[in-house]
């Protein structure tokens, strides 16, 4: 399958099965905007939930914020975005890609910006977090939320958007400790890639050279991914030095240093920033998971999602929907399995083969069929998505199989 054809197939599957829709499609759409459908929103939430777990909740040195999208414009002046957040137009002029809007009415109207990244709200809340919680160094602040960029040429489906979601951490360290922290976060990003099911052969590290890094960075690694349209940036890991806190301290005249209560040392912390785009991650997951093969003499399409992030964990189905006793038993089994995980689907539409194909295409790891044998001995048929193989299990064994896969 050529790459252009693969991209077309992914986009088609996403719309057909309710993962991603073109934004405001009934009015002709709006370039650079997409809507997540019923399955897509669950996939997105699963990815975000896993990031929150690994990057914030499982650690004792992390805190969360949810900062406002609209901020005092001086924030973006101090950070350098007003001066440097720009792309070249075709005639060579630079175009600032921040969205402008207005707040207030009449003579009180002032210009503000839709935030181009979530990091700004983290830096402006550094002092608030320190004063409220007195964290020991090193520590980090995580934020998950929307960012907005007036891209000149949004393209490649959900890769380059005007409205996007970011998962970012600003990790504050002593100036002498940045290299160790940088390596720790680099390893965690690789662990996250494996957890969401990204193909390791399609993931690459690029050490960004001098002259190509952002104005705030002393070292940056781009995590690149082999998308159908080429190798492109997926995530970034940057050593931002003390640029941000120093810039905001100077611009606001508010001291943003850190006092070590044990050593009485006062300093401006340096920052390590693992920055992950949600939408680019979703597209990388779809690219990694897309499969076509032959099964039972027929060509099939399936998404080999990791069970941890699959929108549906298992489907329960009566072998025949016109047999009340099978339907009742299937409902009972589904209710039992939903105690293991809430994302247990029901499907009794069409023959069993068509049900399997539908669930394969949306990436459901397991299909569980209730037949007449179930009525006799409480065993079910559990079918595995990737191989199409089936095994006979008790209901409790099926529940255990699902539980171990999704944890």
3-287 homologous superfamily:
Bira Bifunctional Protein; Domain 2 (3.30.930.10)
d(CA 212, CA 348): 55
Tell me what pLDDT residue 2 has. 63
Reduced to 3 states (helix: H, G, I; strand: E, B; else coil), residue 320 is coil
Tell me what pLDDT residue 88 has. 76
E-strand ranges in 178-269 read 203-207, 219-227, 230-241, 258-259, 266-267
Tell me what pLDDT residue 159 has. 97
Bond before 43 cis per omega within 30 degrees? no
pLDDT 10s digits, 354-370: 999 999 999 999 999 99
Reduced to 3 states (helix: H, G, I; strand: E, B; else coil), residue 115 is coil
Q: Which residues contact 235 (CB under 8 A, 6 or more apart)?
A: 189, 222, 223, 274, 275, 276, 277, 280, 281
Q: Which residues of the chain have pLDDT under 50?
A: none
**Sequence ranges of the domains in the chain:** 3-287, 312-406
pLDDT 10s digits, 259-309: 998 899 999 999 999 999 999 999 999 999 999 999 888 899 999 999 999
Question: Which residues in 337-366 are b (16+ Cβ under 10 Å) and which e?
Answer: beebbebbbebbeeebeebbbbbbbbbbbb
What's CA 235's distance to the chain center, in Å? Answer: 11
Spell out the CATH class of 312-406: alpha beta
Q: In terms of pTM, does the model score above 0.85?
A: yes
**CA 343, 344, 348, 353: dihedral to nearest 10 degrees?**
100
Tell me what pLDDT residue 324 has. 95
d(CA 145, CA 117): 9
Tell me what pLDDT residue 404 has. 96
Length of the chain: 407
């Amino acid at each position: 399958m050529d790459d252009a054809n693969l991209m077309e197939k992914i986009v088609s599957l996403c719309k057909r099965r309710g993962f991603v829709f073109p934004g405001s499609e009934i009015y002709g759409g709006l370039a650079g905007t997409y809507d997540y459908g019923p399955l897509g929103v669950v996939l997105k939430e699963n990815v975000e939930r896993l990031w929150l777990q690994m990057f914030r909740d499982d650690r004792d040195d992390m805190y969360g914020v949810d900062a406002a999208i609209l901020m005092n414009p001086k924030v973006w002046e101090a950070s350098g975005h007003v001066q440097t957040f720009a792309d070249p137009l075709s005639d060579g002029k630079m175009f600032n890609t921040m969205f402008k809007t207005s707040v207030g009415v009449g003579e009180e109207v002032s210009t503000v910006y839709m935030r181009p990244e979530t990091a700004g709200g983290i830096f402006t809340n550094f002092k608030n977090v320190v004063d409220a919680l007195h964290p020991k160094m090193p520590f980090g602040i995580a934020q998950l939320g929307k960012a907005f960029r007036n891209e000149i040429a949004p393209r490649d489906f959900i890769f380059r958007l005007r409205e996007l979601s970011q998962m970012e951490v600003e990790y504050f360290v002593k100036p002498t400790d940045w290299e160790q922290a940088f390596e720790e976060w680099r390893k965690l990003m690789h662990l996250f890639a494996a957890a969401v099911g990204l193909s390791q052969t399609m993931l690459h590290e690029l050490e960004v050279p001098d002259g190509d890094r952002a104005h705030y960075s002393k070292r940056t690694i781009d995590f690149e991914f082999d998308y159908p349209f080429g190798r492109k940036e997926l995530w970034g890991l940057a050593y931002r030095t003390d640029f941000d806190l120093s810039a905001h301290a100077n611009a606001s005249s508010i001291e943003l240093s850190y006092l070590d209560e044990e050593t009485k040392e006062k300093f401006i912390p340096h920052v390590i920033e693992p920055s992950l785009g949600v939408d680019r991650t979703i597209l990388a997951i779809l690219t990694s998971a897309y499969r076509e093969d032959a099964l039972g003499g027929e060509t099939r399409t399936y998404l080999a999602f990791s069970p941890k992030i699959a929108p549906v964990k298992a489907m329960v189905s009566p072998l025949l929907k016109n047999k009340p006793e099978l339907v009742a038993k299937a409902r009972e089994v589904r209710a039992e399995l939903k105690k293991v995980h809430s994302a247990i689907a029901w499907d009794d539409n069409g023959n069993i083969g068509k049900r399997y194909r539908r669930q394969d295409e949306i990436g459901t790891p397991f299909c569980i069929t209730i037949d007449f044998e179930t009525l006799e001995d409480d065993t079910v048929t559990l079918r595995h998505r990737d191989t199409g193989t089936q095994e006979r299990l008790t209901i409790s064994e099926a529940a255990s199989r699902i539980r171990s896969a999704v944890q």
